[in-house]
Amino acid sequence: MVSVPARRSQVAFAPGRGLSQRRACTLVKVGRSALRYRSLRAEKDAPVLARMSELAAQYPRYGYRRVRIFLGRDGHQMSFGRAYRLWRAAKLQVPRKRPRKRVASGRPRPQAPTGANQVWSYDFVFDWCANGQKLKCLTVTDEWTKEGLAIEVDGRIRSARVIEVLSRLVSERGAPLNLRSDNGPEFVSRALLKWIVDQGIGTALIDPGKPWQNGATESLIGKFRDECLSLEWFRSRTEAKVVIESWRRHYNEVRPHSSLGYLTPAEFVAKIASQDAASRPATGRTAAVCGASALRPVASASRKGQAKHQPRAEFSS
């Protein structure tokens, strides 16, 4: 079927061949009143396309779904269909990466979280500066809220540094129920395992050769590599620390996550907090006590009491 705009162009071509406009409209089945119609779609889409191009230049690895969320924050509300049409019209498609062969596994993830601050996962990422300095980045994430809790950057990070980072996070947010990691030497050292047992935290080491069991950290690392390390050119390790920390804050507070309903981790945490507040008693001394206990970090002494009912981590030889 030929579209109406195409048939209107045929009517404009017909008088040059000796046909009248009335006769041409009858032959191609176009109303004469439609000949002077001018679409306003281009004028309506112009500001959206301009803003979309700016966002695509600012975030070159974002697709139309995530850019649509940024447009909505700027007041350009639209459906996924319209965002996709404009995205293709502007030829802003992100180049596709070569798909990797994935291993199908129906086994559930061990110690899967059901709430915030239950399971933290951590791993290392490596990169290089322009001056030849090596970058070793320790990433820590909450598997439920998808928050990037910390990205520690240095040339060397041993088990003592890992303990220092985790101790700081525990003092700020309270201790998680479990820590998930691979079997790297920094994560199975005696010092780290002793600290974990002293804090009453469970361990969830993944099986060797199965990184998909640590999917939350692998997802964070993939985005970190794609949106930060692969786009930035660090002149020194000091510059890398500043840029990476800025990206982590952007990841938590600005970047929408599809797994969270296109909310940012900060918005998701605020939403959970508001739901918890609504479910608590609204008046009386009980409400005040419940609210205070919910906001108070879990003490290490209570964790030690819970550790009696949890299997102790086995030390590696």
**Angle at 133 (CA atoms; ends 128, 136), nearest 5 degrees:** 60
316, part of any domain: no
Strand positions, DSSP E, 84-208: 119-128, 134-142, 148-154, 178-181, 202-205
Residue-wise pLDDT for 37-74, tens only, equals: 777 888 889 999 999 999 999 998 899 999 999 999 99
Do residue 31 and residue 164 come from a single domain?
A: no
Do residue 138 and residue 61 come from a single domain?
A: no
Range of the domain at 85: 41-89
Question: In this model, does residue 32 exceed pLDDT 80?
Answer: no
297, part of any domain: no
Q: In what order do the strands lie in the sheet with 178-181?
A: 148-154, 134-142, 119-128, 178-181, 202-205
Strand positions, DSSP E, 85-234: 119-128, 134-142, 148-154, 178-181, 202-205
281, part of any domain: no
250, part of any domain: yes
Do residue 136 and residue 227 come from a single domain?
A: yes
Do residue 123 and residue 256 come from a single domain?
A: yes
What does the pLDDT read at residue 291?
A: 45
Do residue 51 and residue 139 come from a single domain?
A: no
Do residue 8 and residue 47 come from a single domain?
A: no
CATH number of 192's domain:
3.30.420.10
Do residue 19 and residue 64 come from a single domain?
A: no
Do residue 172 and residue 228 come from a single domain?
A: yes
Last residue of a domain, one of 260, 284, 300: 260
Do residue 194 and residue 65 come from a single domain?
A: no
Residue-wise pLDDT for 244-257, tens only, equals: 999 999 999 999 99
233, part of any domain: yes
Helix 237-253 / helix 215-224 crossing angle, nearest 10 deg: 120
Looking at the structure of the chain, the number of domains it has is: 3
Which residue in 145, 124, 147 sits closest to 135, CA to CA?
A: 124
Residue-wise pLDDT for 122-176, tens only, equals: 999 999 999 999 999 999 999 999 999 999 999 999 989 999 999 999 999 999 9
What does the pLDDT read at residue 35?
A: 79
Residue 132 buriedness (CB in 10 A; 0-12 / 13-18 / 19+): exposed
Strand positions, DSSP E, the chain: 119-128, 134-142, 148-154, 178-181, 202-205
12, part of any domain: yes
Do residue 30 and residue 45 come from a single domain?
A: no
292, part of any domain: no
Question: In this model, does residue 306 exceed pLDDT 50?
Answer: no
Question: In this model, does residue 10 exceed pLDDT 70?
Answer: yes
Cα–Cα distance for residue pair 144/71, rounded to 1 Å:
27
What does the pLDDT read at residue 312?
A: 41
What does the pLDDT read at residue 146?
A: 94
Do residue 63 and residue 154 come from a single domain?
A: no
C-beta of residue 149 within 8 angstroms of C-beta of residue 116: no
Do residue 12 and residue 126 come from a single domain?
A: no
What does the pLDDT read at residue 214?
A: 85
